[in-house]
Structure 1
């Protein structure tokens, strides 16, 4: 049985196993960043589709990106406006990002802080995790823990009692993905968040 308690799920994630939990958008498959290849294998995911680094608060993900002081100020301003929330920022990756998270372009990394009690409860104990939607590559994202358990029988998911206590609400819509170009933002995927242009001088 792969429906487990929060403490067991956290222990498994720390040990490098794939786990799954709800977020504010759609449920995630998650793994320690240095074990990212496990998720690619489980999902049969093409190497050109990177994973997203999800953290419990903004300061937890900044060490994984690099930029000028002016750029960091812009990124932090956007994070302050939209995080926690359904916005993924694709930024230049620092040396802390394992290349396996984004095999086709290890110079960038998508980062996000979800607006989800369950996800924050997990991530605050595990540290940032490499995440993606819970589904086989090319198929629709799975929406329930029961569906995830059926399709990924080796992946640990949270027992329903854990979810009930946190009263989780999910939107069912993927996050907006915005890539930093060096001058502004390029929207790679429009999701639930509308990113407003922010004046900058860099």
Structure 2
């Protein structure tokens, strides 16, 4: 077992020159932490570090042995590809085939959202990108993170860094260094602590390489579909055709893609804590022929279902101003409720930021079951529901 160090980093002390991408670090303590972490990665050892989305587990992307350590630390299936992180446009171009011509849609999206929580699929050159990164697919997923600590770390390594979320495979993604430490303590040498992640959900993954020119959102995330559509509409000239934006599973299905995914988060169950999760459908219509339960009767029945003769603790992730979030929960002997607020209905970005922290916090508090309230699938709500559906083992329709 390794001795895991948690090293503090001050994101405010890190900056990049806008014209040259030159890194500057004002804090000597932060520079020391970054330098130590960078040396670990250069020495083929994985490091956990903050990004604006979630904490990542990073290793050299162009070294198969280094990348294999990510899979062993996480217990990650080998057919689940990794996202490659770069610190500059120059580093991006060093990874691409010489024959590749950047689509206009990519130019617009990169100008608006890079650095940031947008991952783009590019053709993979097998002479450059190891097959362990792409899971033998012809494309590679690449993004440039905006978190100062992440970008500084990659710049100091002077090489692309492959990084999935820094958690055991299948668990909720970590949004604080403490989340990482609880899960992976003893499995890696360094965790950089740059504070809580601002977005709280993984990046949006986009494929714009198909012959029809359409933009396919393979995984909704920190950049909303609405923002992507607006960027393309504003950037494409009148004489050009504005690409249609399609969301995987919402607007189309692809059985071949499901069997051999080109990006993380598509094939396996994800984001699940150690206890069961039930998604409460409070606004969507129930399946034809089924009758929803009343919220009061369903909630009151849980004690008897889980442990009739003993004590039960149930976590509730609910919107702050929803009926579920504001209504008193049933008083049942031997049943303890643990609420965790997901933020207001009007701001799904807050829900996105609080979701994984809520799952991990309630799990640590020792609940026997977690209930999550449905949110509207617009803006960040689309990504929230994508994660919740994968975490939940049961859906229940309830009415108030």
Q: Does 1:148 align with 2:177?
A: no
Q: Does 1:64 align with 2:64?
A: no
Query: Structure 1, residues 51-102: CA drift from partner, whole Å, max 9, x if none?
Result: 1100112221222223755435553343122101110001111231111112
1:133 partner SS: coil
TM-score relative to the length of structure 1: 0.86
Report if aligned partners of 2:54, 2:197 keep a CA contact under 8 Å in 1: no
Report if aligned partners of 1:58, 1:79 keep a CA contact under 8 Å in 2: no
Which structure's relative contact order is higher, taking Cα pairs within 8 Å and 6+ residues apart?
1
1:138 counterpart (144, 148, 170):
170
Query: Structure 1, residues 93-125: CA drift from partner, whole Å, max 9, x if none?
Result: 1231111112242x2110000111111111111
2:117 counterpart (58, 73, 86):
86
Q: Does 1:185 align with 2:215?
A: yes
Deviation at 1:176, TM superposition (A): 0.5
Report if aligned partners of 2:175, 2:197 keep a CA contact under 8 Å in 1: no
In the alignment, which residue of structure 1 is the partner of 2:35?
Answer: 7
Give the aligned CA root-mean-square deviation in angstroms. 2.2
Report if aligned partners of 1:67, 1:92 keep a CA contact under 8 Å in 2: no
2:204 counterpart (172, 176, 183):
176
Say if 1:32 and 1:69 are closer, same or farther in 2 by CA, change over 3 A: closer
1:41 counterpart (72, 95, 109):
72
CA distance in 1, matches of 2:170, 2:140: 21
CA distance in 1, matches of 2:83, 2:48: 14
Q: Following superposition, which runs of at least 4 residues in structure 1 exceed 6 angstroms of deviation?
A: none
TM-score relative to the length of structure 2: 0.45
CA distance in 1, matches of 2:134, 2:5: 28
Say if 1:188 and 1:137 are closer, same or farther in 2 by CA, change over 3 A: same
CA distance in 2, matches of 1:31, 1:120: 14
> Where do residues 158-173 of structure 1 align in structure 2 (5 Å cutoff)?
158=192, 160=193, 163=194, 170-173=198-201
In the alignment, which residue of structure 2 is the partner of 1:28?
Answer: 56
Report if aligned partners of 2:54, 2:199 keep a CA contact under 8 Å in 1: yes
In the alignment, which residue of structure 2 is the partner of 1:121?
Answer: 152
2:52 partner SS: coil
Q: Does 1:19 align with 2:47?
A: yes
CA distance in 1, matches of 2:99, 2:108: 14
Select the structure of larger CA radius of gyration: 2
2:179 partner SS: helix
In the alignment, which residue of structure 2 is the partner of 1:96?
Answer: 128
CA distance in 1, matches of 2:48, 2:81: 17
Deviates more, 1:61-70 or 1:117-126: 61-70
Say if 1:72 and 1:16 are closer, same or farther in 2 by CA, change over 3 A: farther
